[in-house]
Structure 1
Amino acid sequence: MRKLAAILLPLLASACAVGPDYKRPTTPPPAVGTFQTVAPGLSSAPAEDKWWRLYDDPALDGLIQRALAANTDLRAARANLERAQAVLREARANYRPQGQTTGSGQYGNSGGFVGQGGRSSEWIYNGGINIEWELDLFGRIGRTVEAARADADATAATRDRVALTVAAETARAYVDACALAESIAVARSSADIAQRQLGLIDQRVRAGAAARLDSERSATTLANIRAELPTLEGRRRASLFELAALLGLTPAEVPAEAQACARAPKVLQAIPVGDGQALIARRPDVREAERKLAADTARIGVTTAELYPKISLGGSGNFFRNGQVRGSDSFTFALGPLLSWSFPSVLAGRTRIDQAEATTRASLASFDGAVLTALKETEQALSTYAAETERNQRLREAVGHADVAYRLSDQRYRAGSTGLLDQLDAQRELIAARSALAASDQQLGSLRVDLFKALGGGWADLPPEAPRLN
């Protein structure tokens, strides 16, 4: 044992993990500051993780929780994470001794002779055990565990990215369905206005105070308005079916609360957006790219360690017994270090290391790209949302003015102080303004979801997966 210790202690003292140690890449200072887009309705306060609660809509809260528990894409992402965690546990198991046992009992001829050429028959027993414990002198096991841990973290980030997408698309489908219900109500209201106007003109045509041309113009306006209704209703049904799929339901199982929604939920407070540093820390795609970089860096060490011999502490014991072999002679054992080295080609080994290093450089570029993409998408979302918010306010003003103009024109037309053409123009302007505002409301709701999606969040405290049907 003293000789064995004399051999092992110098080896253990010189043990080291080959390959580069991972260091998280630094982010350029301009990327961690405040966002370039500053607009009313936005706040520099830290962004909300459960951002959908800013709508203060219990129905939306419930739908998103159901989607996070039952969505099929998210279920697949959870399963992938479980697999990555199992791979990590397998890698850690290599730190422990590995063993193998064998044993048998057989009855037969032992090869001895008895009497006049007769052969003896007897029971023969044998067994053995081999134990091997790899001494991770060059860090092959450690780097493998490091890579597996980073892979598991990257898969967890992938799950979080899927959760963010599920929450955002669920909110979008619900908000779109509600906004389109408002647009349908506006279109029906506009059709009522046009219908009343057509009735008034028809009365004047029958009385000989108006020409049939005026009646046909008014009927054309009514028909155009009614033509928009099937399209709006079809889009609303499509949004409801999209919502059902996100919840893991069939189209026949659209939630009743979504079907009953008639007004789109709105955020009545300033939207907190935080800054670039918090964004980079929160976005799951950035974290996913960073963890993949860490895993690829560790694999350089795994590949490098393959060039060195594997040294293990091994032991074996064997048992054999028959009619001639008994007692202490039937047992043997051995204990000592084991050396295994495949003598790889230096050129081939160096080439594999070059491949691993190139993969790591590509992962670094992907991480830098993920940071830039996160900043770009957020600035774009902020810019388009701010622009549509201002446009929506102007359209709301236009609806107010068009409504007043229509009422004044209608009063004057009924009093006979203005012509039908002016009345029809005022009517068309009001209907066009209301339709444009309804479309802007729907677009603004979708852009608001885009902004929340760009800001990240939405995966903390994910609910447990819904039970599966057998």
Structure 2
Amino acid sequence: MNFTRAFFPLSMILLSGCVVGPDYQKPDAVLPAKFSESKAASAENVTLNPWWESFRDRRLNDLVHQGLAENLSVRQALERITAAEANVVIAGAGALPSLGASAEGNVAGQDGSYPRRTTGNDHSETKSISAGLSASWLLDFFGQYRRSKEAATASLDAAYDDVNVARLAYLSDLVSSYVNARYYQEALALNRKNLQSRRETLKLTNEIKEAGAASSLDVLQTEGLVNQTLAELPALETGFHQSANHIATLLGVPASTITASLIKGSAQPMPRYSTRVGIPADLIRNRPDIRAAERRLQAATAEIGVAEAQLYPSIELGGSIGASRNFNLVTGSVSNWSFGPSLSLPILNGGALKAQVKAARSNAEQQYLTWKSTVLNAVEEVENAQTALIRDGQTVAALRKVVNSYEQTLNLARESYRGGASTILDVLDAERNVASARLSLASAIRQLARDYVALNVAIGGGAEIGAVPATVASK
């Protein structure tokens, strides 16, 4: 008893004083003061910015909010939070005392007649019952379980950030697919408009042929353009249906479920506002993949302490109380108890424990390199998206002027052809130029919208919209 009174306060002092392994230090990255094509001004927290509303498309807004809670990738990431929370409990439980109870009842007997020297009847039976209570507590002198819980908590934080990573991927995929669907609808409308124009040219050519001013070759060339336009329609229809099917999958419903609601066309999405990208340092705060990488670095750093703690002795306090009774004996009850510490000291293990420390340090270094790579990739994504957005905006503006010029050229070519001052080839060339310019403009508008999506995703925009607070998710 004197030993217990002396050992217990000493164990408390040791428990509070020693944690092996390196303490986590936030990593640093050398980043430029600003992006190459923006001002050196920090932006606000963009993780709650609904940037897709800049398209001013109500149908797109409805689809985005519908899928935030139904996207299967996001739901899988949310489910991984539950597993990470359980791992925190498991890691912390090792440092707490454990208590167990057991009970056993037994009836034994024998029957039969055979030669024996003992006297009495041929049937005997014994009854006994026993119960016990045991407790143990592994004293965490060197912080093994505290480091384990630190690692598990950091992994839990990474799981929350992974949900936001999945949410960003969903936003990028859904909005881009919607942009594609509307592009294919616009391309279909343009091709049908081109088809109508070319049929009018064919009609005009036939009329001029009947008047003796055009040849059969002119008619065949005009018919060729009509048929060429007809041949382009199926591929565009396929592109629209595939985009609509993919949107349905992203919303967690069967393919073609929402196709009917998208058949009614809408204008191609065009961003109405500019994006404030901030400075590269903002990415460390706003990008969930960077935060997740840092949390995994923290977990790997804590695992070094877990491995180092295995190099040191461990002491476990244990005790038990038991009682048993044999009902065949007059004084058939027995009780026993025990209490005391046990010491485990690693001596010879073939270098396995030191190798575990080395492996843990290597893993932490790998996680640091992963974090650094994630930061640099994020900066590159912003730079690329911003550059593309600026220049594709210039392309759209130039193509609008091209379309206007070619449309005027087509009108003049037709008037000239009616008056006999030009050939059908002039009209057909003008029609080809108009059709090509219109489709190029539609394609450029699609690319501009996709650049806008890529830029906002690259800065972490909207990553936390619809996120479940940690305090709620842990319930």
TM-score by length of 2: 0.89
Kept in 2: contact 1:179–1:262 (CA 8 A): no
The CA deviation at 1:274 is 2.3
Match of 1:340 among 335, 339, 344: 344
Per the alignment, residue 12 of structure 2 pairs with 12
2 CA distance for matches of 1:309 and 1:144? 17
The more displaced of 222-231 and 342-351 is 342-351
Secondary structure (helix, strand or coil) at the match of 1:376 reads: helix
Partners of 1:326 and 1:61 in 2: how far apart?
82
Matches within 5 A, 1:236-385: 236-254=240-258, 256-322=260-326, 324=329, 330-345=334-349, 347-385=351-389
SS in 1 for 2:351: helix
Match of 2:89 in 1: 89
Which segments of 5 or more consecutive residues in structure 2 lack a partner in the other structure? 110-116, 469-475
CA distance in 2, matches of 1:148, 1:427: 66
Cα offset, 1:19, TM superposition:
0.6
- Classify 1:356/1:399 alpha carbon distance in 2 versus 1 (closer, same or farther; 3 Å): same
Alignment of 1:185 onto 2:211: no
Secondary structure of residue in 1 paired with 2:95: coil
Please name the residue that 2:106 is paired with: 106
8 Å Cα contact 1:43/1:271 also seen in 2: no
- Structure 1 stretches lacking a partner, 5+ long: 110-114, 465-470
Q: CA-to-partner distance for each residue in 1:194-229, whole Å, 9 max, x for gaps?
A: 111111011111111112222222222222222221
Name the amino acid aligned to 1:37. Answer: E
Distance 2:265 2:101 in 1: 67
CA separation in 1, counterparts of 2:42 and 2:448?
18
The match for 1:456 is 460
Pair 1:23-2:22 in alignment: no
* Among candidates 224, 227, 232, match of residue 223 of structure 1: 227
Q: What root-mean-square deviation, in Å, do the aligned CA atoms of Structure 1 and Structure 2 show?
A: 2.6
Q: CA deviation at 1:16?
A: 0.9
- Kindly provide the CA deviation profile for residues 373-430 of structure 1, in whole angstroms up to 9, marking residues without a partner as x: 1111111111122221111111111011111222222223323343433333222222
Shift of 1:350: 1.2
| 8 Å Cα contact 2:413-2:422 kept in structure 1 | yes
Sort the Cα spacing of 1:263 and 1:325 in 2 relative to 1 into closer, same or farther, 3 A: farther
The alpha-carbon deviation at position 305 of structure 1 amounts to 0.8
8 A Cα contact 1:46 1:274, kept in partner? no
**Distance (Å, rounded) in 2 between the aligned partners of 1:288 and 1:81:** 13
Give the deviation of 1:363 after TM superposition.
0.9
**Paired residue type of 2:414:** D
2:471 is aligned to none
Q: Deviations over 1:337-369 (max 9, x none)?
A: 332345452722211111111111111111110
Distance 1:102 1:43, change over 3 A: closer
Higher mean displacement: 130-139 or 117-126: 117-126
Residue 264 and residue 236 in structure 1: after superposition, are their counterparts in 2 closer, same or farther (change >3 A)?
Answer: same
**Does structure 2 conserve the Cα–Cα contact (< 8 Å) formed by 1:128 and 1:316?**
yes
**Counterparts in 2 of 1:155 and 1:198: CA distance versus 1, 3 Å:** same
Deviation at 1:290, TM superposition (A): 1.0
Q: Residue 103 of structure 1 aligns to which amino acid in structure 2?
A: A
Amino acid at match of 1:397: K
For 1:224-247, what per-residue CA distance to the aligned partner results, in whole angstroms no more than 9, with x for missing partners? 222221111111111011111111
How far apart in 1 are the matches of 2:447 and 2:259?
23
Q: Does residue 1:398 correspond to 2:402, yes or no? A: yes
Contact 2:164 2:467 survives alignment (8 Å)? no
Distance in structure 1 (CA, Å) of the matches to 2:189 and 2:42? 33
2-side partners of 1:231 and 1:122: how far apart? 88
Could you tell me which residue of structure 2 aligns to residue 3 of structure 1?
A: 3
Structure 2: distance between partners of 1:310 and 1:343: 12
Structure 1 374/317 Cα, relative in aligned 2: closer, same or farther at 3 Å? same
Give, as a single letter, the amino acid of the residue that structure 2 aligns with 1:414.
R
Greater Cα offset, 443-452 or 124-133: 443-452
- Indicate the SS of the match to 2:69: helix
Residue 250 of structure 1 aligns to which amino acid in structure 2? Answer: P
Give the counterpart letter for 2:301 in structure 1.
Answer: T
Mapped contact 2:307–2:357 kept (Cα < 8 A): yes
What does 1:147-166 align with in structure 2 at a 5 Å threshold? 147-166=151-170
Give 1:438's aligned residue. Answer: 442
Kindly report which structure 2 residues correspond to 1:32-111, keeping only aligned pairs within 5 A, or say none: 33-38=33-38, 47=46, 49-108=49-108
Match of 2:205 among 198, 201, 207: 201
Q: Distance in 1 between matches of 2:419 and 2:353?
A: 96
Which residue does the alignment assign to 2:174?
170
Paired residue secondary structure (1:271): coil
Q: Is the 8 A contact 1:307 1:344 kept in 2?
A: no
- Alpha-carbon distance between aligned partners in 2 of 1:118 and 1:276, rounded to the nearest angstrom: 95
Contact 2:31 2:281 in 1 (8 A): no
Change (3 A) 1:428 1:29: closer
Contact 2:245 2:259 in 1 (8 A): no
Q: Is the 8 A contact 2:271 2:449 kept in 1?
A: no
Q: Distance in 2 between matches of 1:312 and 1:160?
A: 42
* Shift in Å, 1:251: 1.9
Task: State, as a whole percentage, how many aligned pairs show the same letter.
Answer: 31
- 1:118, CA displacement in angstroms? 5.5
After superposing the two structures, state which structure 1 stretch, 435-444 or 339-348, moved more.
339-348
DSSP-derived class of the 1:330 partner: strand
Residues 104 and 131, structure 2, Cα contact 8 Å, conserved in 1: yes
Report the equivalent of 1:112: none
Structure-2 change in CA distance of 1:406 and 1:221 (3 Å): same
The answer to whether the Cα contact below 8 Å between 2:188 and 2:233 also exists between their aligned partners in 1 is yes
What is the TM-score of this pair, normalised by structure 1? 0.89
Q: Which amino acid aligns with 1:87?
A: N
CA distance in 1, matches of 2:395, 2:43: 22
Q: In 2, Cα distance between the equivalents of 1:289 and 1:86? A: 21
Going from structure 1 to structure 2, the CA distance change for 1:228 and 1:325 (only over 3 Å counts) comes to farther
CA distance in 2, matches of 1:362, 1:243: 37
1:423 aligns with 2:427: yes
